[in-house]
Amino acid sequence: MQSTTQLLLLKRVLFIFILVLSQHSLYSQFELYAGGELIGGTMTGSQFNSDLLEQKNYSPVLGGQLNVSIRMFDVFAIEAGIGQHWNRVRLRDNDFEQQAEDFSIDIKNTNYYWNYYIALSAFVKIKQTDTYFYGKFALSFNNYGESSVNDQSSFAISSLSIDRTLDYTSNYRATNYSLIPEVGIQHKFFKGNTLGLGIRYNIGQSTAFESEYTATDNISGQSTTDGLTSKGNNLTFTLSYNIRLYHIPEREKKPKKKKVKTDDIAIDVSKQDEDEDDPSTGSGTSEEPVVHKKKYEDEGRKMMVSERIKVHSNKVKILIWDHQTVDGDRVSLVLNDEWILENYTLKKEKYEMEVELVEGVNTFVLHALNLGKVSPNTAAFIVIEGDKEHRLTLQSNMKRSGILEINYKP
């Protein structure tokens, strides 16, 4: 009955996810990942029937999981996976340790179980870096295998008149499920692969196993008992690594073509003035061509100030190259509404140029001409002012242009 309920819940979650994908698949940015994670921590939250037994401070939990995930808009993701886990509940007998200070009874309750899970994650980028804070919430179905184990031992300490028989039994439920909130930090690097470090808390929603402990005094014939109930709760750290298998960049909406009525167009044909090109009249075209700098038109893109720096020299060197993966990003650069570099493909090697600034705020725009293979278009910069260097990155796409403001004060 419990397994049927778990499968029904999982099917509902998958149905909602497929419905979301169908609504966004035409214009969303998707990344497909496969990876794994290592898990390590300690058991928590065991409940005891009396004060005879006590859980030791560290009852280890170890495990590993394999997963696949789809990341959307670089903001949220859905993940599914399967894992194998090992834990050991370490207990002590308080009554015995009070009677025999130099002795202790170490009870170890060890078990293995496997799980399958589905999780939703959200990501928040840390400024203009490739590092993210993330939060994750998982629903895990845990299979312990319905079974029972028993261990019995006897010991005697003649100097303390102690002669006891110990009996410990554990009964495991077939399955249970748990809710797992997790927070952490994640970094994207080569080819969009990710490395993450997080902390999670596994909250069991039903009993995973029950244990019963009996200590019999063979001299007096008296017995003391205690019981333990665990839902499998644990606090663990996770180390994850995911490989990006496939990437669908964000699709930019094409601008609508403006319809022009025929009566809005007028063609005027007239005879040129004869003296227009006559240098003897002192007007018209000069013999030396006048150099007109091409003015910047933002093409309706949003301007986003990403970085601000201060310099004290009117001439600075600027080095530019492709940030992280070289994927064919093409850009143009604009300084104070004038193009200073056009249709340049970013490379691994740094491109160097020297620019002259005006006093006050100088606006430096990264204008994207494409998105390369990996969206968005990201360029790394070094602004050199004498012996001082300013390192930064700018991001742009076909809708927004990243801006660097250089404040020049002599």
> Which of the given ranges, 226-230, 298-302, 343-347, has the highest pLDDT on average?
226-230
Confidence (pLDDT) at 15? 60
pLDDT at residue 292 tops 80 = no
Q: Report in angstroms the alpha-carbon separations of 80 from 11, 13, 17, 339.
A: 12, 11, 12, 48
Domain ranges of the chain: 2-248, 300-408
Compute CA 121 distance to the chain's CA centroid, rounded to the nearest angstrom: 8
| Model confidence pLDDT, tens digit, residues 193-241 | 999 999 999 999 999 999 999 999 898 889 999 999 999 999 999 999 9
pTM: 0.60
pLDDT at residue 289 tops 70 = no
Domain 300-408 coded CATH 2.60.120 = yes
Comparing 130 with 233, the larger pLDDT belongs to: 233
The arithmetic mean of pLDDT across residues 75-98, rounded, is 92
pLDDT class of 297 with cuts at 50, 70, 90: low
**What are the residues whose beta carbons fall under 8 Å from the beta carbon of 35, sequence distance 6 or more?**
66, 67, 69, 194, 240, 241, 242, 243
2-248: CATH, from 2.40.160.20, 3.40.1410.10, 3.40.50.300, 1.10.10.10:
2.40.160.20
d(CA 259, CA 220): 103
d(CA 138, CA 179): 6
Confidence (pLDDT) at 231? 95
> Which of the given ranges, 92-96, 122-126, 245-249, has the highest pLDDT on average?
122-126
Helices (H) and strands (E) counted in the chain, each on its own, are: 2, 23
pLDDT class of 143 with cuts at 50, 70, 90: very high
Confidence (pLDDT) at 190? 76
